[in-house]
């Protein structure tokens, strides 16, 4: 296993106004590869983020829920969100999504970028 | 037509949709901009460009400055000298993809900052507006995407926004995922119930952006009008408004008084009471303290 931690500064790599489900899903997809396939640890830094929208946060919350449900060998995720408001938003979504996974008896959420059905 | 009474005015505008429109816009106010947004969205969804005649110079100026003229078939030329994008207008824009919503959301936040709104106001609007635009992309199935515009009334202390689509409406969106339900029930679920009541699915979201936006607007003393199908949501009331319209989309108009909402209010509204720190969130021992603020 490659033990080097992958550090991602979200504000620098994606933007300071984080909106839309698709952008959140793309980040989740990228993190899936690192955590589940490469089995490397990730440090996700939200410092400098000015707006964290519900849809974007919800996709990261799905990842947190998936990590809590998966017992297989994988990398670990650490997240820094200096703004308590957005930390609360993300955690609330994570709690909700974890309950949903348990209710549906699933380990993960779909990663389909074609959102319109 | 009494312009102070928005709903009959919009009804009248929608019922005129299949004809060339000659609207006597004077004065040209936000109700006019909202109705024009609807007309443009509906006409474009049907493959045409609305032909509008403005009989008033002030209305023409606003239509030009708002960028609405670019979406109309109108018979006057634009001789205005454009200034930079600061000021009170958030120009009329079309968005069709999440990429455009992402970029436009960022642009709108920047424009609002230039109007010198307080940070908590910008934060509130920066949360609400992209959420509503994202809903259009994820749920509306609108053939023309959505349209957004806004105006900052500095001296009067509030901001107005309109976000309009010509998609399948709340009812159509819910029916695709959860089966048959009445139009009134669809409006109630979309605006008043959060996703833990069953409006969310595992693929998308679908239940939180609009209800929380309404709660933020209420807390700020704002107003929310939503027209969809045959119903309107008007500041908490769900009312039947039309019997015979073909338009099924969602048109949202909101007023946000600024300086009324603070960080603590947003903290209360964004997130559920289940505010428990999951263990996964604790800082990993593998991260060195010095690395925390020194990211690549």
| Chain A residues touching residue B131 (CB < 8 angstroms) | 19, 53-55
Q: Is A102 on the interface with B (CB under 8 A)?
A: no
- What's the CA gap between B78 and B89, in Å, rounded? 17
Give the best residue of A7, A21, A76 to mutate against chain B (max B CB count within 10 A). A21
- What's the CA gap between A7 and B293, in Å, rounded? 10
Confidence class of residue B50 from pLDDT cuts 50, 70 and 90? Answer: confident
Using CB atoms, which residue from A51, A112, A117 is nearest to B109?
A: A51
| Chain A residues touching residue B198 (CB < 8 angstroms) | none
Using CB atoms, which residue from B138, B278, B296 is nearest to A94?
A: B278
Q: Is A41 on the interface with B (CB under 8 A)?
A: yes
| Chain B residues touching residue A106 (CB < 8 angstroms) | 202
Min Cα distance A92 → chain B (Å) is 5
Residue A95 near residue B280 (C-beta atoms within 8 A): no
Nearest to B238 by CA among B36, B34, B33, B7: B7
Q: Residues for chain B: how many in total? A: 296
Confidence class of residue B201 from pLDDT cuts 50, 70 and 90? Answer: low
On average, the pLDDT of chain B sits at: 79
Q: Please tell me which residue, B48 or A45, carries the higher pLDDT value.
A: A45
Q: Which stretches within chain A are classed as H helix?
A: 10-13, 21-32, 54-69, 84-104
Across the range B283-296, mean pLDDT stands at 36
- What's the CA gap between A59 and A55, in Å, rounded? 7
Q: With an 8 Å Cβ cutoff, are B274 and A95 in contact?
A: yes
Instruction: Please identify which residue in the block is written with the tokens 């930390």.
Output: A87
Across the range B151-158, mean pLDDT stands at 89
Among chain B residues, CA nearest to A14:
B102
Q: What is the 3-state secondary structure (H, E, C) of B6-18?
A: HHHHHHHHHHCCC
Q: With an 8 Å Cβ cutoff, are B287 and A43 in contact?
A: yes
Q: Please tell me which residue, B16 or B161, carries the higher pLDDT value.
A: B161
pLDDT digits over A46-102, tens only?
A: 999 999 999 999 999 999 989 888 867 888 888 888 888 898 888 888 888 888 899
Supply the pTM of this predicted model.
0.86
ipTM of the complex: 0.88
- What's the CA gap between A91 and A109, in Å, rounded? 17
| Chain B residues touching residue A84 (CB < 8 angstroms) | 267
Q: Is A72 on the interface with B (CB under 8 A)?
A: no
A117 pLDDT higher than 60: no
Q: Is A58 on the interface with B (CB under 8 A)?
A: yes
Interface of A with B in 6-35 (CB under 8 A): 7-9, 12, 15-17, 19-23
| Chain A residues touching residue B130 (CB < 8 angstroms) | 17, 19-20, 51, 53, 55
Q: Is A2 on the interface with B (CB under 8 A)?
A: no
Min Cα distance B41 → chain A (Å) is 19
Q: Is A108 on the interface with B (CB under 8 A)?
A: no
pLDDT digits over B232-280, tens only?
A: 999 999 999 877 777 889 999 999 999 999 999 999 898 765 444 444 4
Mark B188-208 as b/e (b = at least 16 C-beta within 10 Å): bbbbeebbeeebbbebbbbbb
Q: Which residues contact A33 (CB under 8 A, 6 or more apart)?
A: none
- What's the CA gap between B224 and B213, in Å, rounded? 9
Residue B114 near residue B86 (C-beta atoms within 8 A): yes
Q: What is the 3-state secondary structure (H, E, C) of A30-58?
A: HHHHHHHHCCCCEEEECCCCCEECHHHHH
Q: CB count, 10 Å around CB of B289?
A: 7
Confidence class of residue B66 from pLDDT cuts 50, 70 and 90? Answer: confident
Mark B94-115 as b/e (b = at least 16 C-beta within 10 Å): bbeebebbbbbbbebbebbeeb
Say how far residue B27 (Cα) sits from the centre of its chain.
23
B285 pLDDT higher than 50: no
Nearest to B224 by CA among B129, B142, B140, B97: B129
Nearest to B189 by CA among B201, B172, B207, B214: B207
B3 pLDDT higher than 50: no
pLDDT digits over B78-107, tens only?
A: 766 655 555 678 889 999 999 999 999 999
Using CB atoms, which residue from A9, A20, A95 is nearest to B102?
A: A20
Nearest to B210 by CA among B242, B184, B186: B186
């Amino acid at each position: 296993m490659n033990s080097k931690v992958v550090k991602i500064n979200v504000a620098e790599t994606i933007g300071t106004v984080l909106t839309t489900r698709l952008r959140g899903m793309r980040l989740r997809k990228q993190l899936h590869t690192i955590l589940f396939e490469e089995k490397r640890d990730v440090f996700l830094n939200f410092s400098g983020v000015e707006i964290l929208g519900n849809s974007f946060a919800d996709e990261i919350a799905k990842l947190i829920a998936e990590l809590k449900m998966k017992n297989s060998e994988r990398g670990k995720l650490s997240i820094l969100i200096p703004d308590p408001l957005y930390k609360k938003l993300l955690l609330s979504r994570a709690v909700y999504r974890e309950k949903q996974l348990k209710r549906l008896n699933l380990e993960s959420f779909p990663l389909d970028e074609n959102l319109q059905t | 037509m009494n312009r102070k009474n928005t709903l009959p005015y919009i009804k009248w505008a929608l019922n005129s949709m299949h004809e060339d429109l000659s609207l006597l816009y004077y004065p040209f106010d936000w109700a006019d901009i909202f109705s024009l947004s609807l007309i443009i969205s509906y006409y474009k969804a049907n493959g045409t460009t609305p032909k509008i005649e403005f009989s008033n110079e002030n209305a023409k100026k606003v239509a030009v400055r708002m960028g609405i003229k670019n979406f109309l078939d109108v018979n006057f030329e634009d001789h205005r000298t454009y200034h930079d994008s600061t000021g009170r207008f958030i120009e009329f824009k079309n968005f069709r993809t999440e990429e455009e919503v992402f970029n436009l959301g960022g642009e709108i936040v920047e424009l609002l900052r230039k109007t010198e709104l307080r940070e908590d106001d910008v934060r509130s609007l920066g949360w609400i507006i992209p959420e509503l635009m994202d809903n259009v992309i994820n749920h509306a199935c609108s053939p023309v995407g959505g349209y957004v515009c806004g105006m900052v009334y500095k001296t009067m202390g509030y901001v107005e926004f309109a976000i309009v689509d010509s998609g399948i409406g709340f009812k159509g969106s819910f029916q695709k995922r959860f089966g048959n339900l009445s139009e009134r029930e669809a409006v109630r679920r979309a605006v008043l119930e959060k996703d833990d009541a069953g409006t969310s699915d595992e693929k998308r979201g679908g239940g939180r952006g609009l209800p929380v936006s309404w709660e933020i607007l209420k807390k700020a003393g704002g107003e929310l009008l939503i027209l969809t199908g045959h119903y309107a949501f008007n500041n908490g009331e769900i009312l039947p408004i039309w019997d015979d319209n073909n338009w099924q989309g969602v048109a949202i108009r909101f007023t946000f008084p600024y300086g009324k909402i603070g960080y603590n209010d947003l903290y209360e509204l964004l997130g559920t009471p289940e505010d428990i720190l999951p263990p996964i969130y604790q800082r990993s021992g593998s991260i060195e303290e010095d690395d925390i603020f020194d990211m690549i």
